[in-house]
Amino acid sequence: MAKKKKSSKQGSNTIALNKKARHEYTLGEKFEAGMSLQGWEVKSIRTGKVNISDCYVFIKNGEAYLLGAEIQPLNAASSHVVCDPVRDRKLLLNRKQLDKLAGLVERDGMSLIATAMYWKACWVKLEFCVGRGKKLHDKRADIKDRDWARSKERLMKHDKR
């Protein structure tokens, strides 16, 4: 029997990115979590009506929730379903991960910032990082380092010629 060829996917699996997170926070360890979604939310996510720029993860009663993510309902959604675009969505994590995150947030004063939402097979996954908020002088130092790295690359490129 001949083996079936796997179909190559076109495009990216990324649904939404939080580009502001790297500027506002010093990010550390990454985590991946599944999300508990309703049917209308999955349909809206497939059309790309998601905004995670101002959302974060919080731990309550030993469970993780995504707060502030906005999923706009479709115009053709069913009339009998009540759509709340900014409801808290439960994240699916292992107990060990939840305990580790709770310790980081409570003891060390860290924040859990959502950085990306993407498809993994047929499931919607959320990538979030442990981070600490930057002060103004930290942001200036990062900009200075980035500019120096860019000018250093230009000098190295110029010296090779």
CATH number for the domain that contains residue 42: 2.40.280.10
Question: How many independent structural domains does the chain possess?
Answer: 1
Within a domain: residue 104?
Answer: yes
Within a domain: residue 139?
Answer: no
pLDDT for 77: 61
Q: What distance, in Å, lies between the first and last C-alpha atoms of the chain?
A: 56
* Residue range 65-120, pLDDT digits in tens: 999 888 888 877 666 777 888 889 999 999 999 999 988 888 877 889 999 999 99
Within a domain: residue 86?
Answer: yes
Q: Report the half-sphere exposure of 156 (CA within 13 A, side-chain side).
A: 6
Structural domain of 50: 14-133
124's tokens: 């919607």
Do residues 69 and 52 touch, judged by C-beta distance below 8 A? yes
The model's pTM is 0.74
pLDDT for 12: 74
pLDDT at residue 6 above 80? no
